[in-house]
Amino acid sequence: MPVEDTQSSDQPFSQDQLGAFQTLVDIVAQLRAPGGCPWDREQTHNSLKRNLLEESYEVMEAIDDGDSDVLSEELGDLLVQVAFHADIAREAGNFQVEDILRKINGKLVRRHPHVFADGQAADARQVEANWEQIKAEERKAKGETKSPVEGIPSDMPALAYAQLMQDRVGRAGFEWDDISGVLDKLVEEVAEFKAAATQEEKEHELGDLMFALVNLTRWAGAYAEDVLRQANQRFGDRYLKMESLAAEAGQDFNALPLAQKEELWQEAKRRLG
């Protein structure tokens, strides 16, 4: 169903907003045109991968910090990356920004039949199930027969990769009946790590243990990348507080015995949570 057939008379974007997006596209095109910016002109899809990743992480940091002003700015930086890749593709004759928008518009409408057609979805779980079914039908129509474990971007962080793969196979029916099976598997993996004799065996079992931990995170309704990132932040904040407490007491933190450092750690936890 075409997008325009589903819209009400109240358009979600004003002409000014659409014009602002076109201005961004035009600015990027000028930057990359002859006589434009030398750095921008030499960029390629591959050279910008690092920038795309960095901007994505900065968006996530702004979300974690709850700073709307910074989030607005970082989303703009991320949008610039989309505009750059679109312009590079336009120059190569591969596709244009209009093709990107047309494809995503069509995809969103197709995969939300409960909004744009006569589909039914009583809750978010049903929406997810419908989404996966429609994706499978689209792949079948294209002659694709991918397994749930195929087609996951290899450049994804390992935790995110593991969780996405677990989500996919879970939706395909390869799933524990309840969380007790997940916990039992975790205990099993700990035992296997303890029994590992060689470095190779230890690394193998550590991988299995981490994979099981990701699955536990998934069953807890959390996202492994977020959980570990938050733990990293807590540890860093507490460590800085330990150093600060030691300095306030006129102590050389690095020279303190472990027992005193543990006391400072507990105090830092008490103060920071």
Residue 142 lies in a domain: no
Check whether 234 has a pLDDT greater than 50.
yes
Per the structure, how many domains does the chain have? 3
Last residue of a domain, one of 48, 77, 110: 110
**218 and 229: one domain?**
no
On whether residue 139 sits in a domain, the answer given is no
CATH number of domain containing 203: 1.10.287.1080
Q: In terms of domains, do 237 and 203 share one?
A: no
Question: Quick one: average pLDDT of 212-236?
Answer: 96
CA distance 80 to 24: 8
User: Are 12 and 48 within one domain?
Assistant: yes
Cα separation, 159 vs 28, whole angstroms:
34
d(CA 30, CA 250): 59
pLDDT for the residue numbered 126? 86
Kindly state whether residue 235 falls inside one of the protein's structural domains. yes
Instruction: Determine the angle formed by the axes of helices 49-65 and 224-248, rounding to 10 degrees.
Output: 70
Q: Which residues form the domain of 245?
A: 225-272
On whether both 105 and 196 belong to a single domain, the answer is no
CB atoms within 10 A of CB 268: 20
Q: How far apart are CA 114 and CA 135, in angstroms?
A: 15
> Would the pTM count as exceeding 0.85?
no
5-35 pLDDT tens trace: 444 444 555 667 778 999 999 999 999 999 9
Mean of all residue pLDDT scores within the chain: 91
Nearest to 247 by CA among 266, 270, 264, 272: 264
For the stretch 148-177, pLDDT in tens is 898 899 889 999 999 999 999 998 889 999
- Asked, for residue 165, whether it belongs to a domain, the answer is yes
Is the pLDDT reported for residue 203 higher than 90?
yes
Q: Do 89 and 39 fall into the same domain?
A: yes
81 and 105 fall within a common domain: yes
- Inter-CA distances, 37 with 27, 42, 101, 185, Å: 11, 9, 26, 55
